[in-house]
């Protein structure tokens, strides 16, 4: 399985001193093949090619004697499209060391003609033929059958981020071929071949924008689907940290590993704001202390500060608005 890469060098470009084992592409298609390489040297040659042209992937296992790679690549506007036939590999793993030794980054969309597996970004997906997955440039594992043909679209990071505020929302997630968006995306990736790229039915910009729009719609739906769970996580985090006087939405977003914009979007979708949720949480903490004998030795000012309120006047207004009583009256009533 070819790992994602961000280089502008196409497969099959020959450099000075390099053995000519590639058949020059016709009509702008570049080809790479291990056909003329002795069987015992093919894996080493391919790994060297990865390290020089894409990025390093050092952990390969389950290599059989018929290991081979056939690839074609062509530019598609600012993207590039690849078809790959891989034989004789069962497992590849991109390690922390590989990531550290990489010089560029990008993302890749994969769809394959047979079942395979991909583990990345907290997902461990079993993919069927025609399913699509977005692979990032971090650590990942892939498990493949004895022969696998893949259609791959290489996406520069800056391009993908212009369409998706947070590409990680899709990285490593299976997009089933028969799902609502899989029925759109799977044939799109399959049909955007190197042959089509050199003789496109529409300008490259139109095809590229169509792909970007589809990915943005899929990401938006994925975020919306995750909103109920994320809302509970946001509220839980605010509840746990509300006593921090300087707590911000960015702090909570960082704790949950989501962009601040997503946090605000989830709250807004439920007619909520971060400020209102924070005040609610602080009020609940203060109300517990005001009405509990365990905190009888504390002054109202102490309680306000412990609950995270910076301004005692604001604290008193919040308590009175929500209970109809001043903090002191609440304490007297409780006692």
Where are the chain's structural domains? Answer: 30-203, 276-334
Domain 276-334, CATH among 3.40.50.300, 3.40.50.1370, 1.10.10.60, 2.70.150.10: 1.10.10.60
How far apart (Å, rounded) are the C-alpha atoms in residues 171 and 68?
A: 28
CB 291 within 8 A of CB 285: no
How far apart (Å, rounded) are the C-alpha atoms in residues 252 and 166?
A: 17
Q: What is the pLDDT of residue 16?
A: 37
How far apart (Å, rounded) are the C-alpha atoms in residues 233 and 131?
A: 30
- The token pair at 172 is 């490593």
Q: How confident is the model at residue 26 (pLDDT cuts 50, 70, 90)?
A: very low
How far apart (Å, rounded) are the C-alpha atoms in residues 173 and 195?
A: 28
Q: Which residues pair with 154 in a beta bridge?
A: 80, 108
| Average model confidence (pLDDT) across the chain | 86
pLDDT tens figures, 42-77: 998 888 777 665 667 889 999 999 999 999 999 999
Mean pLDDT to the nearest integer, 301-308: 94
CB 182 within 8 A of CB 58: no
Q: What is the pLDDT of residue 54?
A: 63
Domain 30-203, CATH among 2.10.109.10, 2.60.120.10, 3.40.50.300, 2.40.160.60: 2.60.120.10
pLDDT(10) > 60? no
Q: Comparing 219 with 258, which gets the higher pLDDT?
A: 219
pLDDT tens figures, 231-290: 899 999 999 999 999 999 999 999 988 778 778 878 887 788 999 999 999 999 999 999
Measuring CA to CA, how many Å separate 282 from each of 234, 248, 261, 262? 15, 13, 23, 23
pLDDT tens figures, 102-140: 877 789 999 999 999 999 988 899 999 999 999 998 899
Q: Which uninterrupted H or E stretch holds 117?
A: strand 116-120
How far apart (Å, rounded) are the C-alpha atoms in residues 115 and 145?
A: 7
Q: Comparing 52 with 219, which gets the higher pLDDT?
A: 219
């Amino acid at each position: 399985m070819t790992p994602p890469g961000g280089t502008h060098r196409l497969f099959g470009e020959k450099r000075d001193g390099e053995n000519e084992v590639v058949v020059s592409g016709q009509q702008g298609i570049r080809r790479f093949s291990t056909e003329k390489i002795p069987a015992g040297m093919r894996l080493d040659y391919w790994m060297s090619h990865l390290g020089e042209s894409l990025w390093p992937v050092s952990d390969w296992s389950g290599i059989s004697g018929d290991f081979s790679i056939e690839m074609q690549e062509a530019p598609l506007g600012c993207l590039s499209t690849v078809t790959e036939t891989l034989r004789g590999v069962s497992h590849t793993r991109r390690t922390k060391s590989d990531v550290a030794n990489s010089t560029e980054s990008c993302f890749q969309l994969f769809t394959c003609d047979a079942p395979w597996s991909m583990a990345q970004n907290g997902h461990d997906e079993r993919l069927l033929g025609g399913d699509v997955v977005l692979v990032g440039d971090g650590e990942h594992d892939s498990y493949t059958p004895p022969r696998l043909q893949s259609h791959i679209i290489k996406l520069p990071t800056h391009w993908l981020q212009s369409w998706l505020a947070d590409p990680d929302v899709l990285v490593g997630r299976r997009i089933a071929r028969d799902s609502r968006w899989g029925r759109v995306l799977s044939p799109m990736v399959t049909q955007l071949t190197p042959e089509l790229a050199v003789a496109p039915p529409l300008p490259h910009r139109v095809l590229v924008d169509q792909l970007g729009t589809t990915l943005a719609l899929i990401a938006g739906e994925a975020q919306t689907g995750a909103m109920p769970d994320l809302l509970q996580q946001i509220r839980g985090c605010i509840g746990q940290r509300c006593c921090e006087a300087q707590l911000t939405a960015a702090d909570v977003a960082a704790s949950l590993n989501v962009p601040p914009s997503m946090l605000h979007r989830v709250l807004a979708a439920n007619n909520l704001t971060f400020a209102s949720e924070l005040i609610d949480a602080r009020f609940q903490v203060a109300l517990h202390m005001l009405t509990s004998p365990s905190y009888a030795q504390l002054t109202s000012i102490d309680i306000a500060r412990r609950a995270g309120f910076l301004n005692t006047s604001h604290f008193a207004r919040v308590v009175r608005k929500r209970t109809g009583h001043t903090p002191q009256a609440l304490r007297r009533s409780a006692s």
